[in-house]
């Protein structure tokens, strides 16, 4: 009963960045089709879902599907100095120990009993009319600028394009991309307000060149799907809206 996965350093880092934005411990599923983990933050405002399909790894061998409990901060601390293209190997031989190997270093960390980790959420079914695909770097710039003027933003979409708006006492940021500027856009109407505290953290997982797909409704949770590490890792966030005071 063992797992052996070899992946690129930036892929492991993306997995860990994605999870550590919301939780310090997570259940890791090594499934037939690849790696999967999901978790909800302590305040129940956001969920993160991380997937790496087996085709995107350098090597992936499992005897049988396995769930282990992981202290993600601790591993992130070790793994964050990995170079982008440096290969890293994850090994689980029994439920008590995870080995992380890179270069001449072998790091072994005790696993946590998965039943001691907060129960995993079911992934909610959300009916989200608007679909917006854009470069994550552009999104990041907008969130960074919005953060200078307010602590929340409105995402809205209509036939004229996609908007991110933040309003301070004396200043205002508007980010706007028309259909022509977006990578994909269905022009559906939607409008919800979100906390910048969370969005700022989500942004850290991605950079210019990474794809971001936003699924948006009206006063409804949004789904933000980042395809990172050359598209080899999928990090999805589901974020609850804030109530707009009229």
Q: Which positions touch a second copy (CB under 8 A)?
A: 71, 74, 77-78, 81, 103-110, 138, 141-142, 144-145, 148-149, 170-177, 181
Cβ closest to a second copy, residue 107 vs residue 220: 107
Cβ closest to a second copy, residue 54 vs residue 74: 74
Q: CA-based angle 155:161:164, to the nearest 5?
A: 25
Cβ closest to a second copy, residue 118 vs residue 172: 172
Cβ closest to a second copy, residue 44 vs residue 104: 104
234 close to 20: Cβ distance less than 8 angstroms:
no
Interacting residues of 236 by C-beta distance below 8 A, sequence separation 6+: 48, 49, 50, 51, 223, 224, 225, 226
Closest contact distance (angstroms) between CB of 153 and a second copy is 12
List, as one string, the DSSP characters of 178-198.
-TTTSSEE----EEEEEEHHH
Closest contact distance (angstroms) between CB of 60 and a second copy is 24
Q: CA-based angle 74:232:59, to the nearest 5?
A: 75
Closest contact distance (angstroms) between CB of 72 and a second copy is 13
* The residue to which tokens 């608007």 are assigned: 130
Closest contact distance (angstroms) between CB of 169 and a second copy is 9
């Amino acid at each position: 009963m063992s797992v052996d996965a070899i992946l690129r350093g930036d892929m492991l880092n993306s997995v860990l960045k994605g999870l550590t934005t919301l939780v310090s411990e997570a259940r890791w599923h090594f499934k037939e089709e690849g790696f999967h983990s999901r978790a909800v933050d302590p305040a129940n405002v956001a969920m993160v879902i991380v997937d790496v399909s087996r085709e995107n790894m350098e090597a992936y061998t499992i005897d049988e599907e396995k769930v282990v409990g992981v202290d993600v901060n601790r591993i992130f601390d070790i793994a964050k100095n990995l170079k982008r293209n440096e290969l890293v190997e994850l090994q689980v031989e029994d439920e008590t120990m995870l080995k992380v190997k890179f270069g001449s270093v072998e790091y072994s960390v005790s696993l946590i009993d998965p039943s001691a980790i907060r129960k995993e959420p079911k992934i909610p079914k959300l009916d989200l009319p608007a679909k917006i695909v854009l470069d994550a770097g552009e999104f990041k710039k907008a969130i960074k600028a919005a953060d200078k003027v307010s602590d929340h933003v409105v995402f809205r979409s209509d036939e004229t394009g996609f908007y991110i708006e933040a309003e301070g006492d004396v200043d205002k940021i508007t980010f706007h991309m028309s259909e022509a500027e977006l990578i994909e856009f269905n022009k559906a109407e939607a409008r919800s307000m979100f906390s910048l505290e969370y969005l700022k953290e989500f942004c850290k997982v991605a950079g210019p060149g990474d794809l971001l797909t936003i699924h948006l409704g009206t006063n409804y949770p949004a789904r933000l799907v980042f395809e990172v590490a050359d598209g080899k890792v999928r990090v999805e966030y589901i974020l609850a809206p804030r109530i707009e005071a009229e």
